[in-house]
Amino acid sequence: MDLLGEYRILAGRGAVWAALNDADVLRRCIPGCEELEKVSDREMTATVVAKIGPVKATFKGAVTLENLNPPESYTIVGEGKGGVAGFAKGAADVSLAEDGAETVLSYTVKAQVG
């Protein structure tokens, strides 16, 4: 599954970059994320609940920040296992562009569930 889009945020790029590196903010941005705990500056552990058709599964795994180019872009990579429900993995390329006092956040997501 591939997704792409953009959001206009009423904040400067530095503030948006700081928020995107905050585990609590990221937890609220990841659909179904129940827990996200920072292990290091680039690594986190996560618990995500996803419903795929009639099946609801809890995935536990890791989230890593890669290709860091502060405060312009990074790649957020996640991989989790849901026991008998299978696996989920994906990555999102995120970029931030200044537009006056606002920031345009663009993203491209590639995700797999099996």
- Predicted model pTM: 0.84
What residue spans define the domains of the chain? 2-113
Query: Burial of 5 by CB count in 10 Å (0-12 exposed, 13-18 middle, 19+ buried)?
Result: exposed
Comparison of pLDDT for 108 and 59, the residue scoring more: 108
Position 27 confidence tier, pLDDT thresholds 50, 70, 90? very high
Q: Give the architecture-level CATH label for domain 2-113.
A: 2-Layer Sandwich (3.30)
Computed over every residue of the chain, the mean pLDDT equals 91
Q: Are 10 and 19 in contact (CB under 8 A)?
A: no
Report the alpha-carbon distance of residue 105 to residue 8 in Å, rounded: 6
pLDDT digits (tens, 9 = 90+) for 28-65: 988 889 999 999 999 999 998 887 778 788 889 999 99
At residue 88, the pLDDT reads 81
